[in-house]
Amino acid sequence: MPLKAAIVPVTPFQQNCTLLWDETTKVGAVVDPGGDLHRIEAGIEKTGMRPEKILLTHGHIDHAAGAAELKEKLGGIPSRARTRPTSSCSTASPRRAWRWACWARATSRPTAGSRRATRSPPPAPPSLCCIAPAISPGSVVLVNAAQRFALVGDVLFRGSIGRTDFPYGDHAALIDTIKTKLLPLGDDLVFICGHGPMSTLGDERQTNPFLA
């Protein structure tokens, strides 16, 4: 299933909300709707995509704050804080990650330290699998291995990495996950990060000072 993506920068933090959809059916998902819903809705209209899910890479407020309101605006479509890992490019997530995953629900506004227990992970959209880095409990990276791209949230940036000074962040675990789970996916893999321009794993392997 060929996927297309469009980036909509939102909030004063210029967070990259991503519209992701199947090129044939136009069905897709809104990833990390942190705010400025009028911009997101304009992007949906411009691309012609039909969102059926809201996905959150992690629970930080600039990525998740608009999820509940957008869910209502789009008619109550499912909001997912994480997806089911698949065996091709993932590892089993710690039980704590499942329990502390930040769900976007109509009854609450998720924050960096949100503590919403979950029963089991929902199914992943077709063509995507996920791994669980340590930017926050329950965080994920969404990977399309066939098309060689990923949505990494705030795990990895061009020339930098994500913050781990929020509650439950773990700098050592984040670095370890990037080196042992992300980089092995291949130098040619292009990623959309939570803020700033896209990059490739190969460029970051060679130039990112945090990965030296």
Is 212 among the domain residues?
no
DSSP 88-127: TS--PPPHHHHHT-----TT----TT-----SSPPPPPTT
Q: What are 127-150's pLDDT values in tens digits?
A: 777 776 666 777 889 999 889 999
Beta bridge partners of 3: 22
Q: Is residue 174 part of a domain?
A: yes
What CATH number should be reported for the domain holding residue 83?
A: 3.60.15.10
- For residue 78, the tally of other CB atoms under 10 A from its CB is 12
pLDDT class for 179, splitting at 50, 70, 90? very high
pTM above 0.85, yes or no: no
Q: Residue 99: inside a domain, yes or no?
A: yes
Mean pLDDT computed over 168-175: 85
Q: Specify the number of domains making up the chain.
A: 1
- β-pairing, 160-161 vs 190-193, is unpaired
Supply the Cα-derived Rg of the chain in whole angstroms: 16
Which band of pLDDT confidence, cut at 50, 70 and 90, is reported for residue 205? very high
pLDDT value for 190: 96
Mean pLDDT in residue range 77-99: 40
Residue 39: enclosing H or E segment and its boundaries?
A: helix 37-47
Residue 116 lies in a domain: yes
Mean pLDDT of the chain: 78
Q: Decide if 211 is inside a domain.
A: no
Q: d(Cα 153, Cα 63) in Å, to the nearest integer?
A: 8
Q: d(Cα 39, Cα 106) in Å, to the nearest integer?
A: 20
Give the CA distances from residue 111 to residues 70, 103, 152, 183, 206, in Å, rounded to whole numbers and listed in that order.
16, 10, 19, 29, 34
